[in-house]
Amino acid sequence: MAIAHEALDGIDKIEAARAAGVRSVQLQFTDIIGHVKSVSIPIHQMENSVRHGTWFDGSSIEGFTRIAESDQYLMPDMTTFAEIPWSPGSGPRGTARVICDVFTPRGEPFTGDPRWVLRRQVERAKALGYVVNTGPELEFFLFRRGADGGIEPLPHDQAGYFDSSTDLAMEIRQDMVDALEAFGIRVEAAHHEVAHGQHEIDFEYADALRTADNAITFKYTLKAIAQRHGLYATFMPKPIHGINGSGMHTHQSLYSIADERNAFADATNPYGLSDLARSYMAGILAHGRGMIAVLAPLVNSYKRLVPGYEAPTYLTWGRTNRSALIRVPKVSPGRSIEGTRAEVRCPDPSSNTYLAFAAMIAAGLDGIEKGMVLGDPVEESLFEMDAATVASKGIRELPGTLGEALDELERDDVIREALGDHVFSRFVEAKRTEWDEYRSQVSDWEVERYLEEF
C-alpha cells in the first residue's frame, strides 16, 4: 500500500512560510507509546525533505528498530504543515511543524509506525466502501507546581462541571483554543469538567487519520500553553484518588462513499441506528476486553475504570446509561439524523491515538464483516446493581488491571492483526515491563494498612 504525498503540493506552503519568517521545521512523528518525537531542519532543506525524505536513526526510538536495522526516513505530510504559534518566551516563533510517515530504506512504509497502523485500517474501511469518521473528547487536568517547583497533583482551581465564577482557567483555555486553531484544528467547545482542575476542549468530527493527527497535536499544544502559564497539563487518567478521572470518549461513524451519506443512520430504528451501525457496535463490544490494553494502556488507567465515576466498566450499550461502554448520543433537535454516531467511552487520553483508533476500527469492521448481532440496550445504571444481578444478565466487564488486559490482548487475533506483529510484540513487551515493575512495588497505602496491624 503506497502513501501518496504529492511533493509539489507542499512547495507553495514552504515558500509562504519562508516569506513569513519561518526559519526551521520540526519533522514530527510518534513512538509506539504515543510520545511526539521530532528532528528539526532549516527551512531551506524542507523542499528536499518533501521530495526525498529526511533520514534518521530509529534504533533509539521506543519500539522502533534494532541497531542493526536503524536507518529510516521521514516523509512529511504537507497537509499537516503549520507554524508553531507559541509566543516569544515559551519558544521561538519562526518554527513550523509537519507530521511525517516513517519509511524503511527500501522505500516501504515502516510497520512499526503508529500512523501507518491506523492508515491500514482506514484503507481497509475504504475498500469496503466507507470513510471512518471520529471525534475524540480529551479530558485533562491543570495542576500547580509544588513549593519546590516540582510536579504535583495540585488542582489549579476548585471549580466543577461548567462552572464559571470559580474557574481560574478560562483565559488559559482560550489561549489553548487560539493555539489549536492556529494549527488548523477547529474547536467546537471548551469548558471546565467535573473534577477540580479538570477541563475539556472538543474539536471537530472528521476522518480518522485527521482527528488522530489533531489529537496528538492537541496534547503537545496544551502542555506547551499550560507551561506558559506556570502550570502543568496532564493526560494521566486518574491523577487523584476519589475524584473523576480523564477519559477520551471517541465518537465514531462510517460514511458511505457510494451513497454519500452516514451509513450509521436509519430513521426507522428507535435509536436511529442502521444494521451496519449495530454490527459495528457489536464488534466493539466483542473485542472490548481484547483491545482495552491499547485504549487504556497504563497501570493507572485501571484506577479510572472502576464503578462510580462515570467511567464505563461493563460491555453494554445504551443512550442514557453512562456506565455502558458504548453510548448512542441523541441527535440534537433540528439536526439531521446524519449526525447519528456511537460514542465509545472506555479509551483514555494516555493512549496513542493512532493505535487506539486502529484497534476500534478493526473491532467494528470485524463486527460488520461477520454480521455480528447487537444485544439489547441496558439503560439502568449497572453501578447500582449487585454483582449477582449483573452476572445474571450475562453482562461482561472490562479487565480490572493492566496485567489482565494484556492477557486479553494476547488472546485477541483481530486486534493483534490490526496492530501488526512489530507493534504488537513491542507494545506487549513494554507494557509487561511496566506491569511487572508496578506489581513489585510497595505502596504507601500498603505500609499504612498493614505495617502496624501485622
Cite the active site residues: 57, 137, 139, 193, 200, 249, 322, 343, 345
How many other CB atoms sit within 10 Å of the CB of residue 375?
16
What does the block give as the cell for 293? Answer: 490494553
What does the block give as the cell for 177? Answer: 483554543
Please report the sign of the dihedral spanned by the C-alpha atoms of residue 46, residue 50, residue 54, residue 58.
positive
Long-range contacts of 45-54 (CB under 8 A, 24+ apart): 46/14, 46/17, 46/76, 47/11, 47/14, 49/25, 49/74, 49/76, 50/5, 50/7, 50/10, 50/11, 50/14, 50/75, 50/76, 50/78, 51/7, 53/103, 54/27, 54/100
* CA nearest to 201, candidates 115, 259, 135: 135
Query: Cα(97)–Cα(82) distance, rounded to whole angstroms?
Result: 6
C-alpha to C-alpha distances, 439 to 388, 408, 411, 432, nearest whole angstrom: 29, 18, 22, 11
Q: Contact at 8 Å (CB) between 294 and 351?
A: yes
Query: Cα(26)–Cα(95) distance, rounded to whole angstroms?
Result: 7
The identity of residue 349, as a single letter, is P
Q: Contact at 8 Å (CB) between 263 and 253?
A: yes
How many other CB atoms sit within 10 Å of the CB of residue 34?
21
Give the SS3 label for residue 292: helix
Give the SS3 label for residue 123: helix
96, containing H or E segment? strand 95-103
Query: Cα(378)–Cα(245) distance, rounded to whole angstroms?
Result: 23
